[in-house]
Structure 1
Amino acid sequence: MTALRAQTPHHEKMALHTALYWIRSGMSSIFLQDANTLVLNPDDLITILLHIREAFPRVERITSYARSYTIARISDDDMARFALAGLNRIHIGMESASDEVLAFVKKGVDKKTHILAGQKVVRAGIELSEYFMPGLGGKALSTESALETADAINQINPDFIRIRTLAIPETSALYTDLQNGTFSQMGDVETARELLLFLDTLNGVSSTVKSDHILNLFQDVDGTLPGDKETITAPLRSFLEMPPEDQLLYRVGRRTGIFTSLADMDDPELMNHALKAKQAHQVTLENVDRFTAEMMKRFI
C-alpha cells in the first residue's frame, strides 16, 4: 500500500485517502455530490440509488443536497420511489423564507415553494434538514427574515434545523452590495437577536436544532424541540444579557478559536488567552464587527 501511494498522482492520492477514511469509518453513509442531485431524471436517480445499495450493502444512509424549486416539480409518487430505493436524508438550503430576502439574493425560489418542497420531502418519509442563515436579510430585513422563516419551518416540521451564519466572500454579488451600501451587514450581537427571535417563534415542531459550523458564534445552540427549547436558547439569552465588553471578549475568543462555548469564559486560562488575542489584534467596540468579518473570511 505504501508503494502504491508513492506512485499515485496527488489528486488520486486524495481520492484514495477519502476512500480509506470511508472504509475505516464503517462505510455506513454516502453523500451524493453536487448541490442538486434531484435534478436528475427520476428513473436515473433510482438506478443510482439501487446500485449503491447493491454494491455497498452496509450503507445505512444515503444523503443528498436538493433545491426547493427542483423538489416542488417532482411528483409525490417519485419522491416515494426515491425513499424506497434508499434515499433517506435530504438537505435543503432554505436560508430564509422571506420573499423580499429571497428576491434580493436572487435565490430563485419563494416562501410558498420552500414550504411545498419541504412538506413533499416529509410526506415521502425522507429525513429533512432545512438550513437557516441569520443575517442574510441584513439590518433592514432581519426581523422579517426571522419571522417568515420560522413560519415556514412551523408548516414543514423538518427533522433538522441547521444554522449557518452569513459570511460574505469578496467574489459574491452580495459583497458588491455591501461595498456600495445596498446591503447593511449585521454584527454578531444583531445576528444573535435575529437567531433568538427565529427560535422563539418556532411552534409545534419536533425538529432537532444544530449549530454545528465554525462560522456560528454559538455551537452550543443545540437540542430537540419542543422539550429542549429553553436549553437551546439559553446561550443566546446569556450572551445578549452580557455587558458589551464581555460580549466583545467572547467574540474575540470564539473567532480566534479559543472559545467553543460561553462556558469557556469560566476558564481563567482561556480567558487570559482571549484577553491577549484582543490586545494583539487591537480589537475595540468600534472595530469588532470589522475584525469578526475578517476572521470569518478564513473559513469561507
Structure 2
Amino acid sequence: MNYQGNIFRPPSEAYSILLQVTTGCSHNKCSFCSMYKGSRFTIKDDATIMADIDFAAAHCRGQDRLFLCDGDALIIPQKRLVGILQAVKTKLPWVTRVGTYANTKSIRMKSPEQLRELRENGLGIAYMGLESGDDQTLGAINKGADSGRMIETGRKIRDAGIKLSITVLLGIAGVERSAVHALETGRVLSAIDPEYVGALSLMLTDGSPLYEAAQNGTFTLPSPTGVLEELGIMFAATELSNGYFHANHASNYLPIKALLPRDKEKTLKLIDKALSGKLSLKPEYLRGL
C-alpha cells in the first residue's frame, strides 16, 4: 500500500483495510490537534488509489471493513469518490462497510442526493469530531463551525442513511467552562441523535497551540476528578433514541460503554461511585492516545 506521512484511523477501524485516498486534513486548524501539522492536504491520484485497491484485493481478504484515510476523504469530488467506492465494491466484494472521517465543510459540500449515492455505493459510516457543543469553546479551539452547523450537518448525514459516530473531548473547555461545555455538548448530541458517541479525554500534545497555552498558563486542563464530573454532566444531559455512548478510549480515566436510553441510570450510578472514591480511576501512566 502507498502510504504517505502518518496514518490515523478511529479505534473502531483497528482491523480495517486502510486505504489512503487523501493526505493530511482539509481544515487542519484545530488548536488541540497536532496530528497533521506540517502535512499538506492533497487528494491522491486515481492511479495510486486503484493500485492500492488491487493490492488489497490480493492481500487483505481477511478484512471485511475498509476505512478511507486521512483526515477528510468525504471532501473528494463526488464523481471521483463514487468511482473509488465502486472499485472497492467490484474488487473487494467481501468488504461489508466503508468508513470515512467527515467534517462540517465536506458534509455541506454534498447534497442530500449525493450523500445517498455514497451510501448506495457502500459508504456505511462517517466519523465526525464535534469536540464540544459550546459555541464559545468551538470558537476558542478554531473548530470552524458553531453548534448549529454541527447539528445541521450531523442530521444531514443521518438523514442520508449513513451511520454517524461523533467524537467529543472531555477537558477541551478547560476548568472555567467545564460544566457549560458538558451541558451544551449533551444538548447537541441529543439534537443530532447519532448511532455512536465516543468521549475521549483531552491529552495535550507537543506542537499544538493548546499545549502552548497550557505551558504559558492561559489554559488549565481539569483534574482527573474534574474530567469525571464533566463526563457525568455530559452523560446526564445526553438523550439518544438508540445509540451507544462510549468512554472506553485509552485516554479516559473511567471506562464506560452504555446503550442509551437503556443503560443511563446504571452508568450514572457508576460515575457517582467513582466520584465518591469507591472505584479507582486509571492511573496516568496507563493513559494514551
Which one of the candidate residues 94, 103, 123 is aligned to 2:130? 94
For residue 261 of structure 2, the aligned residue among 214, 221, 226 is 226
Structure-2-length-normalised TM-score:
0.77
Equivalent residues of 1:134, 1:194 under 8 A apart = yes
Alpha-carbon shift at residue 256 of structure 1 (Å): 3.6
TM-score normalized by the length of structure 1: 0.74
Q: CA separation in 1, counterparts of 2:149 and 2:117?
A: 21
Q: Which residue of 1 aligns with 2:210?
A: 174
| Deviation by residue 1:116-163 (Cα, 9 ceiling, x = unmatched) | 110011001011000111100001111111111111111111000011
Give the aligned CA root-mean-square deviation in angstroms: 2.2
- Tell me, in whole angstroms, the C-alpha distance in 2 between the residues paired with 1:254 and 1:178: 21
Does 2:181 correspond to 1:152? Answer: no
**Residue aligning to 1:240:** 275
Give the Cα separation in 1 of the matches to 2:263 and 2:101. 27
Partner of 2:88 in structure 1?
Answer: 52
Whether the 8 Å CA contact 1:218–1:235 is kept in 2: the answer is no
Q: Does 1:119 align with 2:155?
A: yes
Amino acid corresponding to residue 283 of structure 2 in structure 1: R
Displacement of 1:204? 4.7
Partner of 1:208: 244
Runs of 4+ aligned residues of structure 1 deviating over 6 Å after TM superposition are 17-20
**1:217-264 CA distance string (max 9 Å, x none):** 122x1121001112333331111111xxx77xx34x53344xxxxxxx
Deviations 1:66-116 (A, max 9, x none): 112221232111111110111000000111111100111111111111101
Greater alpha carbon shift after TM alignment, 141-150 vs 83-92: 141-150
C-alpha distance in 1, partners of 2:146/2:203? 22
Corresponding letter in the other structure for 1:237: D
- 2: CA distance, partners of 1:108 / 1:205: 28
Task: Give the aligned length.
Answer: 237
Q: Residue 99 of structure 2 corresponds to which residue in structure 1?
A: 63
Is residue 190 of structure 1 aligned with residue 196 of structure 2?
no
Q: What is the identity, as a one-letter code, of the residue corresponding to 1:234? A: K
The residue aligned with 2:141 is 105
Determine which structure has the larger helix proportion and give its number: 1
| Alpha-carbon distance in structure 1 between the residues aligned to 2:90 and 2:276 | 54
Larger Rg computed on CA atoms:
1
Contact 2:174 2:219 in 1 (8 A): yes
Equivalent residue letter for 1:68: T
Which is bigger in relative contact order (C-alpha 8 A, separation at least 6)? 2
| Structure 1 residue 25, shift from structure 2 partner | 7.8
User: Distance in 1 between the 2:260 and 2:81 partners?
Assistant: 33
Q: CA shift at 1:210, angstroms? A: 1.6
Secondary structure of the corresponding residue to residue 183 of structure 1? coil
